[in-house]
Amino acid sequence: MVHLTVDIGGKPGVNCRGFCTYCYFKHAKDVPPFGCRYCLPFKKGCDYCTRGVKEGYEGFLPLKEVAENFLADLQATSDDVTRITISGGGDPSCYPEFTDLMEILGSLDVPLHIGYTSGKGFDSEDTAEFLLKNHLTEISFTVFASDPALRRKYMNDPTPEASLAVLKRLAEKIDVYAAIVILPGVNDGAVLENTLTWLEEAKVCGVILMRFANERAQGLILDNAPVMEGQKTHTVEEFREIVRTAHKNHPKLRISGTPLYDPLFDSPFAIRRHPELLKKLPEITGKTPVITGSAAAPFIAEILQKKGAKAGAVVPVKKEIACLMTIDDLQDLDKTSLTDTVIIPGRAFVHAREAAEVFGRQVVRGPEMLTADGETSMGMTEEAVLSLEFEGFSALINLINQYGT
Ligand code: SF4
Specify the pLDDT at position 56. Answer: 59
Same domain, 214 and 306: no
Average pLDDT over residues 139-143: 96
404, 288 Cβ separation under 8 angstroms:
yes
Q: How many Å lie between the centroid of ligand 1 and the Cα of residue 242?
A: 23
> Is the Cβ atom of 20 under 6 angstroms away from ligand 1?
yes
Same domain, 210 and 145: yes
Number of domain units in the chain: 2
For 50-97, the pLDDT digits (tens) are: 876 666 567 899 999 999 999 999 888 888 899 999 998 899 999 999
The answer as to whether 264 is a domain residue is: no
Query: DSSP 3-state assignment of 341?
Result: coil
103, 127 Cβ separation under 8 angstroms:
no
Nearest-atom index, ligand 1, CA of 18: 5
- DSSP strand pairing (81-87 vs 112-117): parallel
The answer as to whether 306 is a domain residue is: yes
Between 99 and 340, residue with greater pLDDT: 99
> Is the Cβ atom of 12 under 6 angstroms away from ligand 1?
yes
Average confidence score pLDDT of the chain: 93
> Is the Cβ atom of 256 under 6 angstroms away from ligand 1?
no
Same domain, 222 and 276: no
> Cα(83)–Cα(96) distance, rounded to whole angstroms?
23
Same domain, 87 and 173: yes
Domain boundary (258, 278, 295) is at 258
- DSSP strand pairing (342-344 vs 81-87): unpaired
Q: How many Å lie between the centroid of ligand 1 and the Cα of residue 372?
A: 23
Return all residues near 318 (Cβ < 8 A) that are at least 6 apart.
217, 294, 329, 332
DSSP structure class, residue 267: B
For residue 30, name the pLDDT band (cuts at 50, 70, 90).
confident
Q: How far apart are the first and last CA of the chain?
A: 47
The answer as to whether 265 is a domain residue is: no
6, 66 Cβ separation under 8 angstroms:
yes
Q: How many Å lie between the centroid of ligand 1 and the Cα of residue 21?
A: 9
Same domain, 211 and 297: no
Q: How many Å lie between the centroid of ligand 1 and the Cα of residue 156?
A: 10
Same domain, 208 and 145: yes
Domain that holds residue 331: 270-403
Nearest CA to ligand 1 atom 1: 118
Same domain, 223 and 330: no
Identify the H or E element spanning 2. Answer: strand 2-7
Specify the pLDDT at position 57. Answer: 67
> Is the Cβ atom of 118 under 6 angstroms away from ligand 1?
yes
Closest of 159, 60, 143 to residue 101, by C-alpha: 60
- For every residue of 274-335, DSSP letters joined together read -HHHHHHSPPP-S---EEE-TTTHHHHHHHHHHTTPPTTSEEE-S-S-GGG-BHHHHHTS--
> Cα(257)–Cα(267) distance, rounded to whole angstroms?
10
- The pick from 15, 16, 155 for probing ligand 1's pocket by mutation, whose C-beta has the most ligand atoms within 8 angstroms, reads 16
pTM value is 0.92
> Is the Cβ atom of 16 under 6 angstroms away from ligand 1?
yes
Closest of 355, 356, 353 to residue 327, by C-alpha: 355
CATH code of 233's domain: 3.20.20.70
For 166-208, the pLDDT digits (tens) are: 999 999 999 999 999 999 999 999 999 999 999 999 999 999 9
Between 31 and 128, residue with greater pLDDT: 128
Same domain, 208 and 317: no
Nearest-atom index, ligand 1, CA of 19: 5
Same domain, 210 and 278: no
Find out whether the peptide bond into 226 is cis, omega within 30 degrees of 0. yes
Average pLDDT over residues 149-174: 97
Reduced DSSP (H G I as helix, E B as strand, rest coil) percent helix, strand, coil of the chain, to 5: 40, 15, 45
- DSSP strand pairing (254-258 vs 206-211): parallel
For residue 140, name the pLDDT band (cuts at 50, 70, 90).
very high
Q: How many Å lie between the centroid of ligand 1 and the Cα of residue 250?
A: 27
> Cα(318)–Cα(294) distance, rounded to whole angstroms?
6
Nearest CA to ligand 1 atom 6: 20
Specify the pLDDT at position 156. Answer: 95
Nearest-atom index, ligand 1, CA of 89: 3
> Is the Cβ atom of 13 under 6 angstroms away from ligand 1?
yes
Q: How many Å lie between the centroid of ligand 1 and the Cα of residue 274?
A: 38
For 337-349, the pLDDT digits (tens) are: 787 799 999 999 9
Specify the pLDDT at position 337. Answer: 78
For 245-296, the pLDDT digits (tens) are: 999 999 999 999 998 899 999 999 999 999 999 999 999 998 899 999 999 9
